[in-house]
Amino acid sequence: MTESLGKYITTISKYINYYINKRANKLNLNIHQVHILKILYNNEGINQEELTDISKSDKVTISKLLDGLVKEEYVEKRKNEEDRRIKNLYVTEKGESIKKEIKNILKDTTKILSADFTEKENVIIRKLLNRMLDNIYDEINNK
C-alpha cells in the first residue's frame, strides 16, 4: 500500500511554513500574509471578496490577515468610488519597499522545492498540484 498523498503534502507544507515564516518574521509577517501581499502586488485595487476568491480562502481568514497587514502599514483599504460599502486594497509605500524581499522568499522556496527537477517535471508537478487544489477546493465549496 502506498502512503497517503495527504501525508506528503502535510509534511511538505509544514516545512514550507517553517522556512517562509522564519524569513518573513523579520518583516513582522507570516506565510499567509506573504501570499496576500504577492496577490496584491499583481492585483492592485481588488476588493476583499476578490482577494478571497483568488486566494481560495475564506472571508474571516482574509479579514484577519488584512487587519495585520493594515496594522503593519503594508496595505491600506480605500472606499470604492462607485460603491462606498466596498473597500479596495492597495499596497502602501512601505509594502512596496519589501516587494523584492517577498519575491525572493517565494523564489527561494520554489528553488529549494524543485532543486533537482527537470523543466518537464516542474511543469507536470505544478499541473498536478493545481488540479489537486481545485479538486479539494471544489469538494469543500460544493457541499
CA distance linking residue 135 with residue 139, whole number of Å? 6
Q: What's the number of CA atoms in the CB half-sphere (13 Å) around residue 15?
A: 9
Q: Distance between terminal CA atoms of the chain?
A: 30
Percent of the chain at pLDDT exceeding 90: 83
Residue 107's nearest CA partner among 116, 99, 97 is: 99
What are the cell numbers at 18? 517553517
Q: What are phi and psi of 88, to 5 degrees?
A: -90, 150
State the DSSP code for 81.
Answer: S
Q: pLDDT, tens digit, for every residue of 95-140?
A: 999 999 999 999 999 999 999 999 999 999 999 999 998 899 889 8
What domains can be seen in the chain, in order of their start residue?
A: 5-141 (1.10.10.10)
**Confidence (pTM):** 0.84
